[in-house]
């Protein structure tokens, strides 16, 4: 498993909000070590038995946390991420609709500090053996040896469920987020899976728009572990924004065709439909 393992001790920023509270309960039920929460002005309260602190600094000092999952509303998300980066190694930003310039600021700072950021606009990370940071439903996952990395939250759930139905389990599932600017991308996650002893094959779920998949294809050429790919949005009209802010095609770049071609040239097993993914995995595992 990658990113989220037995040593992860997480805080929830925005824990007293509706989403933060709801998903904290789900994360605890999944077995995740949620050791504290942060909402300025709400210090001393408890949410589902988890103590709330006014600041990240205070929470980390008391709980020895090393990760955060952020449910803070978009206008305040940048400040929450900046606060977390000074004390934590891994930050999962669930919040959507964060202004792009805000995201650019904290992503650049994270790179300087060597802090890993997943998101924003991500369903998060799940390692079925130890729990989840985010909103991925545990019911669709079975513990196993296939890594999943995806730009699409909904497709992530569908594909994980297809694997489960076919008795194929997952080591870790990572949603990298659908915004134009994100933290760790396909290349970085593939690198982590390549080094992971619990992962024997990887499913990579891309979509139209941007160049992340083409960049990943260059890295995949050097990988030893097999990669199964799927690109969503094959029927999207050119120049039309589809779903995610990052999924827009411009001047022939970012099309499904260009991505599929790059992946096939890199030796990726590209599935035509998500229903094909379990069968491909059975053949190569």
Long-range contacts of 16-24 (CB under 8 A, 24+ apart): 16/42, 16/45, 16/47, 16/52, 17/71, 17/72, 17/73, 19/71, 19/94, 20/47, 20/71, 20/72, 21/47, 21/48, 23/69, 23/71, 23/94, 23/134, 23/135, 24/48, 24/50
- Provide φ and ψ at 106, rounded to 5°: -80, -25
Work out the number of other CB atoms within 10 angstroms of the CB of residue 240: 11
User: What SS3 state is found at 280?
Assistant: helix
Of the residues 23, 97, 101, 244, only one is catalytic, namely 244
Q: Is 101 tagged catalytic?
A: no
Question: Do 103 and 73 contact (CB within 8 A), yes or no?
Answer: no
What six digits make up the tokens of 3? 């990113």
* Cβ-proximal residues to 5 (8 Å cutoff; 6+ apart), any chain: 127, 130
Catalytic residue list: 244
């Amino acid at each position: 498993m990658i990113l989220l393992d037995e040593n992860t001790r997480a805080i929830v920023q925005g824990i007293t909000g509706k989403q933060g509270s709801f998903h904290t309960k789900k994360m605890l039920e999944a077995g995740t070590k949620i050791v504290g929460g942060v909402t300025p002005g709400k210090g001393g309260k408890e949410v589902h038995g988890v103590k709330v602190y006014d600041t990240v600094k205070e929470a980390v000092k008391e709980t020895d946390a090393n990760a955060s999952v952020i449910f803070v509303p978009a206008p305040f998300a940048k400040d929450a991420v900046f606060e977390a980066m000074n004390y934590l190694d891994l930050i999962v930003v669930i919040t959507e609709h964060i202004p792009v310039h805000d995201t650019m600021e904290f992503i650049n700072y994270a790179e300087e500090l060597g802090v890993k950021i997943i998101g924003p606009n991500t369903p998060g990370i799940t390692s079925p053996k130890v729990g989840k940071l985010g909103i991925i439903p545990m019911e669709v996952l079975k513990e196993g040896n296939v890594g999943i990395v995806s730009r699409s939250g909904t497709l992530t759930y569908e594909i994980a469920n297809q694997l489960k139905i076919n008795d194929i389990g997952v080591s870790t599932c990572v949603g990298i987020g659908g915004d134009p600017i994100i933290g760790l991308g396909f290349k970085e996650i593939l690198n982590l899976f390549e080094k992971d002893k619990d992962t024997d094959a990887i499913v990579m779920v891309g979509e139209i728009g941007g160049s992340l998949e083409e960049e990943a294809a260059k890295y995949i050429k050097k990988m030893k572990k097999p990669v199964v790919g799927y690109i969503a949005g094959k029927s999207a009209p050119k120049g039309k924004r589809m779903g995610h802010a990052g999924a827009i095609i411009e001047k022939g770049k970012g099309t499904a065709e260009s991505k599929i071609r790059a992946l096939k040239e890199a030796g990726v097993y590209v599935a035509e439909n998500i229903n094909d993914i379990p069968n491909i995995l059975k053949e190569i595992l």
